A and B are shown apart, each in its own frame.
Chain A
Amino acid sequence: MDTQQQQSAIKGAKVLMVGAGGIGCELLKTLALSGFEDIHIIDMDTIEVSNLNRQFLFRRSHVGQSKAKVARDAVLRFRPHISIRSYHANVKNPEFDVDFFKQFDVILNGLDNLDARRHVNRLCLAADVPLVESGTTGFLGQVTVHVKGKTECYECQTKPAPKTYPVCTITSTPTKFVHCIVWAKELLFAKLFGDKNQDNDLNVRSNNSASSSKETEDVFERAEDEDIEQYGRKIYDHVFGSNIEAALSNEETWKNRRRPRPIYSKDVLPESLIQQNGGSQNCSVADDDSTVSAMPSLGLKNPQELWGLTQNSLVFIEALKLFFAKRKKEIGHLTFDKDDQLAVEFVTAAANIRAESFGIPLHSLFEAKGIAGNIVHAVATTNAIIAGLIVIEAIKVLKKDADKYRMTYCLEHPSRKMLLMPVEPFEPNPSCYVCSKTPLVLEINTQKSKLRDVVDKIVKAKLGMNLPLIMHGASLLYEVGDDLDDIMVANYNANLEKSLSELPSPVINGSSLTVEDLQQELSCKINVKHREEFDEEKEPEGMVLSGWTQAPATNGESASTSNNENVSDVTESSSGPEIASKKRSFSETQPENHKKEAENIESEDEDLMEIENPMIVSKKKKRVE
């Protein structure tokens, strides 16, 4: 390689790094050592203790500070004469527009979520700036190069949708621990501590549900003067006892299934809980919400320890009491957060009690937290390797060495003797709706579905648009932006609640919609096809978007080299935006990734992996059953 030419290409380059986490720290270090002198870095996150095992530019004293800024300062210590500019911000912010992206020679992604990756991909396409994309999970990782017109874009191949569960598996017939976690987190926790107005499938629908629904509603209401422990026991008995009994009355359900065992608090816990060690009153020193814990007062220390039914029941009651005693103000608007100790304790306990009831093996708090929080396995070595590979590709991009671009997989077990396997990149997919202008087809019931459904489930969730605008011919149906006047906003809001065929410019079979995102400079056409009926289990959204064709499977040599069963495409965190639209299914919270080799090559960094209560976010209209 011509080192002289290479060095001057590196010196003169202006690069943007998106993400200063696990990959980002390694990448910034390697870029600086390699001679890059003008580096910009964006990250919205702040530093947490669990980052320190691999994000080596950060110290314990930095916890709480901006990752981008601390990373910059740390690298300037060993390379003081280069320029690094940090932005503590979300890459989706409007200031990072196409013009902003255009100033760079290459964009380097070290991101942790599908949403931001797609956003950056679109801006790179619009600004015509090459993108080097990356991801790791455990010992697996990959680096890909996306150059407009030369290689496929990040969205040329559809990303596998996250695994989802039928509602009844979660509400009535769990068979795995993850089902219990989803139930505890997205139903019970949300019901007790989240927004009361949201739909919730917590109560089983037994044969006589119509009559009992009224009274079960009241179970969750706590009277002002009701004793918290009594209230906790009432909830306990309802969800683990009578709800299970009600479900058992549905004989049909249990014909070929193991029958669950109802559990009542009086069978597990003493009549009245005597507070040990002073009880909940003084168990937490600080009033910092994230440190309130039920464990110390119960003498529980080790998060890896397996609790029995009694211990889980004690944690359940204690955690619930602490929420009311210490965090009353938050009740009504809490969502599960893996860094919220008390929430993790409550969800662990509830999931374990339910698991016990259904004969499913119990799990430790450590394991339950991983499942509930969608925590991605992460180690420093893989990130270091991937960062090295990113820099190698970035240099090729700067030298415009298009023939040498490679996507590289980092494997846990060698494949054809290789631990690092380079593969020729794919060509752009001619039917990609992002980088080519192929129209999409939307099958929908134009008389029943509202414009809001299209915006939420298709435009935002599926197409990943940030600031969308929808047009039908010359008629503007919907847009988002700061510069809209009140009348327009009122109009758009009115449109949202109308069915497609009732819109001022009716959208019917054969209509063609133009959907644009001005920030991403992405525009696509959607041809509408009216359809009367949809299968509730298979097509839970009540509409079907097609045109997401896969890239051709064969592509010369690259196909043969990538035809390896160990390797799949870049997949994404299970919190991809697709989830938000799942109407009657739950997202899987735990990709059992490092067991299934490379099936789920994920993004490094756990921190944005939260599932935002998918089924609760979506406005759900239940049909009469």
Chain B
Amino acid sequence: MDGEELTEQETALYDRQIRVWGAGAQRRLSKSHVLVSGIKGTVAEFCKNIVLAGVGSVTLLDDRFVTSEAFNANFLILPDENAYVGKTVAEVCCDSLKEFNPMVHVSVEKGDLSTLGVEFFNKFDVVIIGYSSRATKKAVNETCRKLTKRVAFYTVDCRGSCGEIFVDLQNYKYAKKNPDETVECELTFSSFEEAVSVPWKPIPRRTAKLYFATRVIELFEETEGRKPGECSVSDLPSVLKLKKELCEGNSVSENHIPDSLLERLVSSNSEFPPACAIIGGILGQEVIKAISGKGEPLKNFFYFDAEDGKGVIEDISKA
């Protein structure tokens, strides 16, 4: 498709992965631009994965100043005060990521996701929103959808040992390898707003409970004006009350969402590093697939819970 060949250096460095996804996919990776916001444990894992994979550029957005809380599960921040004092999380992570692969351009942008304009997002092929409020996810997703070019949009969250990935590739064509031939397939994705507004009643009962539980927590944080992840076990009664209302509003039984799951979600104020590695790994793989156009992408939610060890895909799209 594009004539440019990989350099000798790229072929040597990426040898083992070119054997997985081919030189064409590697070329497309090296021309892609990824925006990442909210760099906690899972997103740090993701960043490592795509920098190693050899994307063209990674732009980091996280204006929080580094505190000891930021170390949790994030191996991109070295606990050396001289190195991080006065710096933002994005700046510190940028320094670490650059070392992983000198061929990838890693940089920092400042600003608030919800106020950045259309032209800002136009620079990217992939946008990752980590640990954001429901409102921000919706807003950025809508902005990306307004662009003339297709931007692959992802959200990712990890609470304790549980995680969620949301994927919006809009109208997406990909090559599917069958035993004998490669066929072109097309998928239509729902926006974040559409996907989280689907009525619960018709959703199959066996759907991951985390889908519903995450919606409850998300709404709780929004109505209480909390930052994402800012819950504690003392919030449990209010969260359970909200759950009851939501279940009633959706005409499903309250047992639809186990209290114990909500309790785990509100009381885990830090990420479980093995879960970060797993969710960040799946997200990395999906982004690589989306850029290369090779392989069936995940549609449109992924859940992992270390408690049962399952990594499940759920398709919850507007009818």
Binding site for B on A (CB under 8 A): 1, 26, 29-30, 32-34, 49-50, 52-54, 56, 59-60, 77-80, 138-139, 301-304, 366, 370, 375-382, 384-385, 387-389, 391-392, 395, 406, 408, 410, 412-414, 417-422, 594, 606
Contacts and interface: CB of A to CB of B under 8 A. Distances in A.
A21 to B, nearest CB: 11
Chain B interface, >50% SS class: helix
A392 B306 contact: yes
A72 to B, nearest CB: 14
Given A30-B273, A391-B274, A408 B17 contact: no
Given A391-B277, A420-B304, 11 more contacts: A30-B273, A50-B13, A54-B16, A78-B77, A139-B285, A377-B16, A377-B17, A380-B48, A381-B288, A387-B277, A419-B313
B161 A385 contact: no
B52 A418 contact: no
A381 B75 CA distance: 16
Contacts of B278: 384-385, 388-389, 420
B281 to A, nearest CB: 4
A188 B45 CA distance: 46
Contacts of A388: 273-278, 281
Given A384-B284, A418-B310, A392 B20 contact: no
Given A33-B73, A377-B19, A380-B49, A421 B310 contact: yes
A19 B278 CA distance: 20
A606 B100 CA distance: 21
Contacts, number: 160
24 contacts: A1-B161, A32-B75, A33-B273, A50-B13, A53-B15, A53-B16, A54-B17, A138-B20, A302-B5, A302-B11, A304-B11, A380-B52, A380-B53, A381-B285, A384-B280, A388-B273, A391-B277, A392-B274, A410-B311, A419-B302, A420-B278, A420-B310, A420-B311, A422-B310
Among all A-B residue pairs, the 6 with the closest Cβ atoms: A420-B311, A388-B277, A422-B309, A33-B273, A385-B281, A388-B274
Given A412-B295, A419-B282, A49 B13 contact: yes
B313 to A, nearest CB: 5
A391 to B, nearest CB: 4
Given A50-B12, A370-B19, A418-B312, A80 B285 contact: no
Contacts of A391: 273-274, 277
Nearest to B19: A377
B307 interface: yes
B8 interface: yes
Interface string B272-307: 111111101110110010000001101000101011
Nearest to B268: A3
A26 B52 CA distance: 13
A412 B288 CA distance: 13
B311 A418 contact: yes
B273 A34 contact: yes
Contacts of A387: 274, 277
A419 B75 contact: no
Contact of B14 (A53, A421, A422): A53
Interface string B180-196: 00000000000000000
Contact of B296 (A49, A50, A413, A417): A413
Interface in B75-120: 75, 77-79, 99-102
B309 A420 contact: yes
A50 B100 contact: no
Contacts of A417: 312-314
A420 B305 CA distance: 10
A422 B13 contact: no
Given A59-B99, A303-B11, A378 B281 contact: no
B32 to A, nearest CB: 16
B231 interface: no
B23 interface: yes
Contacts of B41: 33
B274 A53 contact: no
A385 B16 contact: no
Interface in B27-76: 41, 45, 48-49, 52-54, 71, 73, 75
A379 B311 contact: no
Interface string B255-274: 00000000010000000111
Given A54-B52, A77-B78, A377 B277 contact: no
A414 B11 contact: no
A391 B280 CA distance: 15
Given A30-B273, A378-B20, A418-B313, A385 B78 contact: no
A95 B242 CA distance: 61
B40 to A, nearest CB: 12
Nearest to B308: A422
B102 to A, nearest CB: 8
A551 B276 CA distance: 35
A303 B23 CA distance: 11
Nearest to A375: B19
Contacts of B282: 381, 385, 419
